[in-house]
């Protein structure tokens, strides 16, 4: 028997950063994101040899361990180990013997929620294998706890829920880890036009998002007025984006993205840099009406909105910066799991 799981990566359209504690705990956060046709996958092959083999195929990293109740968190495939440790601790109460293979379509540090998506995917594979009684909300919350509590990885809450639920979602975040996921029923023609008008551009650089997120969290904790006010504006942006998408006012999207990008840069140092600013300015000069860095910032993917046929001139302009465009479509489904012979 083989157990497989697959979950989509996401792009954040508005409100990013307001899902980070303590902002979401004090003021309530709001984020609008959408999943795309880039995936994380995980395969579990049960064995009876008393061993655990972990293989991250995208990074060509493989380790073999004795099957114990808790694996050492030592910097080697810690996300895989972290999920296993929590599953054994909370559910099986005994070691498991298996081979796990994972793969992510986008490199870590790219800003598409890769770490959280692979965590959700691995957890989903265990849920399918062991028949664990976990709902979608349970899976997303447990994935969040594994990353943020067990592994002490800095970050927000939106990525785990995006990967689990899939589609376009307006998410609300409150104190005590309360999250409400509101799926959006956007007309198919609006979604098609949005996909045509958005360019996802990899800058050719990566970043350690945790450093930026730690800066955001510190600014929110210290109630630094500029950062907190920026958070309020980003929350407003999420509402603006929701209304524009539901009513088909796609001509407003570039302006809304540009509005959010202005305030996103005020949440913490490192969100942008001269290279990112140069790309953004060049894209706007070529016909893009707005955009943003994907994820926490500092590198990875940028999302640019180029309405009408402006995408072609913008794409040509981006060639000079040495990065690459990524083809994608929007997806409706989130985490999927199944068994194969």
Binned at pLDDT 50, 70 and 90, residue 313 comes out as very high
Q: What is the pLDDT of residue 223?
A: 77
DSSP assignment letter at 307: T
Q: How confident is the model at residue 154 (pLDDT cuts 50, 70, 90)?
A: confident
Of the candidate ranges 142-156, 165-179, 266-280, the one whose mean pLDDT is the lowest: 266-280
Given a cut of 90, whether residue 225 has pLDDT beyond it is: no
- List of residues 6+ apart from 75 with CB closer than 8 A: none
Whole-number pLDDT of residue 266: 85
Are the C-beta atoms of 156 and 177 separated by less than 8 Å?
A: no
Q: Cβ neighbours of residue 235 under 8 Å, at least 6 residues apart?
A: 15, 18, 27, 28, 29, 30
Residue 208, pLDDT > 60, answer: no
Mean pLDDT score, 291-309: 85
Whether 159 is catalytic is yes
Predicted confidence at residue 300, as pLDDT, reads: 83
Whether residue 214 is predicted with pLDDT greater than 60 in this model: the reply is yes
pLDDT, tens digit, 9 for 90 and up, residues 53-108: 999 999 999 999 999 999 999 999 999 999 999 999 999 999 999 999 999 999 88
* Whether residue 269 has pLDDT greater than 90: no
Is residue 102 within 8 Å of 90, Cβ to Cβ? no
The fraction of the chain above a pLDDT of 90, given in percent, is 82
Of the candidate ranges 130-144, 198-212, 253-267, the one whose mean pLDDT is the lowest: 198-212
Q: Which helix (H) or strand (E) holds 55?
A: strand 51-56
pLDDT at 67: 97
Please say if the pLDDT value at position 213 is more than 80: no
Q: Point out the catalytic residue in the list 19, 105, 159, 258.
A: 159
pTM of the model: 0.93
What is the token pair recorded at 275? 């290279």
- What is the pLDDT confidence band of residue 122, given thresholds at 50, 70 and 90? very high
pLDDT class for 334, splitting at 50, 70, 90? very high
- Is the Cα torsion angle 39, 247, 27, 222 positive or negative in sign? positive
Q: How many residues does the chain have?
A: 341
Domains and CATH numbers, the chain: 2-185 (3.30.230.10), 188-325 (3.30.70.890)
pLDDT band at residue 220, thresholds of 50, 70 and 90? confident
Closest CA to 58 of 110, 96, 12, 123: 110
More reliable by pLDDT, 125 or 274: 125
Task: Please tell me the predicted confidence (pLDDT) of residue 111.
Answer: 85
Pairing relation of β-strands 290-293 and 324-325? unpaired
Given a cut of 80, whether residue 218 has pLDDT beyond it is no
Q: Please state, in angstroms and rounded to a whole number, the distance separating the CA atoms of residues 339 and 44.
A: 10
Q: Which residues contact 318 (CB under 8 A, 6 or more apart)?
A: 199, 201, 279, 282, 283, 325
Mean pLDDT, residues 332-339 taken together: 98
pLDDT in tens, 162-191: 999 999 999 999 999 899 999 999 999 999
Cα separation, 204 vs 157, in Å, equals 26
Q: Is 33 exposed, middle or buried (0-12, 13-18, 19+ CB in 10 A)?
A: buried
DSSP string covering 163-216: HHH-SEEEEEE-GGG-EEEEE----HHHHHHHHHHEEEEE-S----HHHHHHHH
Distance (Å, whole) CA 151 – CA 139: 16
Taking the CA atoms of residue 117, residue 119, residue 121 and residue 125 in that order, the dihedral angle to the nearest 10 degrees is 180
- Written as one string, the DSSP assignment of 72-133 is --SSSSHHHHHHHHHHIIIII-S---EEEEEEESS-TTSSS-HHHHHHHHHHHHHHHHHT--
In this model, does residue 216 exceed pLDDT 70?
yes
Looking at residues 197-208, what average pLDDT do you find?
83
With a cut of 80, say whether residue 276 has pLDDT above it. yes
Question: CA–CA separation, 316 vs 105, rounded Å?
Answer: 24
Say how far residue 268 (Cα) sits from the centre of its chain: 19
Look at residues 313, 270, 268 and name the one whose alpha carbon lies nearest to residue 289. 313
């Amino acid at each position: 028997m083989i157990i497989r799981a697959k979950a989509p990566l996401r792009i954040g359209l508005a409100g990013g950063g307001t899902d980070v504690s303590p902002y979401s705990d004090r003021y309530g956060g709001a984020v609008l994101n959408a999943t795309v046709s880039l995936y994380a996958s995980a395969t579990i092959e049960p064995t009876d040899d008393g061993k655990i083999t972990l293989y991250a195929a995208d990074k060509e990293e493989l380790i073999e361990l004795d099957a114990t109740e808790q694996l050492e968190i030592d910097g080697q495939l810690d996300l895989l180990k972290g999920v296993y440790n929590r599953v054994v601790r909370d559910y099986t109460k005994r070691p498991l013997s298996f081979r796990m293979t994972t793969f992510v379509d986008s490199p870590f540090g790219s800003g598409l929620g890769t770490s959280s998506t692979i965590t959700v995917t691995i957890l989903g594979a265990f849920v399918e294998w062991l028949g664990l009684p976990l709902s979608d909300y349970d899976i997303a919350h447990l994935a969040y706890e594994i990353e943020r509590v067990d592994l002490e990885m800095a970050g927000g809450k939106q990525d785990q829920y995006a990967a689990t639920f899939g589609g376009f979602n307006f998410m609300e975040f409150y104190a005590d880890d309360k999250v409400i996921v509101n799926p959006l029923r956007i007309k198919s023609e609006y979604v098609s036009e949005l996909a045509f008008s958005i360019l996802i551009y990899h800058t050719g650089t990566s970043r350690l998002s945790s450093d930026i997120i730690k800066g955001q969290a510190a600014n929110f904790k210290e109630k630094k007025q500029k950062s907190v006010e920026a958070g309020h504006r980003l929350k407003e942006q999420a509402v603006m984006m929701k209304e524009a998408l539901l009513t088909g006012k796609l001509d407003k999207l570039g302006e809304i993205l540009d509005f959010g990008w202005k305030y996103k840069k005020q949440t913490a140092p490192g969100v942008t840099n001269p290279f990112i600013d140069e790309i953004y300015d060049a894209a706007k000069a070529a016909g893009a009406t707005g955009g943003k860095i994907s994820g926490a910032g500092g590198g990875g993917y940028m999302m640019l909105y180029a309405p009408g046929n402006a995408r072609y001139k913008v794409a040509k302009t981006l060639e000079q910066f040495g990065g690459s465009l990524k083809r994608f479509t929007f997806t409706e489904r989130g985490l999927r799991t199944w068994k194969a012979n």
